[in-house]
Structure formats: structure tokens, C-alpha cells
Amino acid sequence: DMLHVDLYDHEAAAPVLDSLAFYDNCYQLLAENGVMTVNLFGRNASYEQSLAKIAEAFGPQAVWAFRPTKEGNTVVLAQREPTRPERADLLLRAAEIESRWGLPAKKWLRLFKPVV
């Protein structure tokens, strides 16, 4: 399963749905190996609050985040069941993505870190 959450209104100040109950419900919707991605504004005061709610719902070991883009967006990934693949495994997967689709996956790895 994969659930993508990107719920901003026209003011884009903070996610419209951003409560612990909402993230708990997202967690419950996912299958055991499911993941949720959330688009947040990483340079906004609400970022840390949103991240804390996601970590509480999914567990801090299950949450990863990209560094904010120059526009300020940050993608957060939360796993139903936390996993921490070895760096070597991630590099192999990144190389396959780059080879198959021409996407800069190795660069993404440098920008993608566990929250704790």
C-alpha cells in the first residue's frame, strides 16, 4: 500500500488535515508493509508539529524525511512497519533506479534521512 497526503488549502499555511487522529487513521488504513508520504512545508513553523504527530502515530523509528527543497517543501515518509535497510542495500537500489529510469536516486539518498 501507498498513501500520499498533500492537503493544503489556498493559503498553504499548514495542512488542512493535520491532527494526530488523522495520522492514526492513515496508519490504520495501511497494510503491514504500507507507507504514507506527506508533503509538508519544511521551513514553516508547522513542520515540526506535523512531524511530531506523524512520529507519534507511526512511531519515530518509522519516519524518514527529505531535506526541504529551495521552495521549502519536504516529503516525509512513514512506514507501517519500521525498517532500516543497510546503506549498501539502498545504494544498490538507487543504482537500479538510475539505470532503469534515469532518475537521480543516489542524490536523493543524500537528502533522505531517518527522523531519529
Summarize pLDDT for 65-103 with one digit per residue, the tens. Answer: 998 888 888 999 999 999 989 999 999 999 999 999 999
What DSSP assignment string belongs to the chain? -EEEE--B-TT-SSBSS--HHHHHHHHHHS-TT-EEEEEEETTSTHHHHHHHHHHHHH-GGGEEEEPPPTT-EEEEEEESS-----HHHHHHHHHHHHHHH---HHHHHHHEEE--
The CATH code for residues 2-83 is 3.40.50.150
- Average pLDDT of the chain is 91
What does the domain layout of the chain look like in residue ranges? 2-83
What global pTM score does this model have?
0.88
On the question of pLDDT at 27 being above 90, the answer is yes
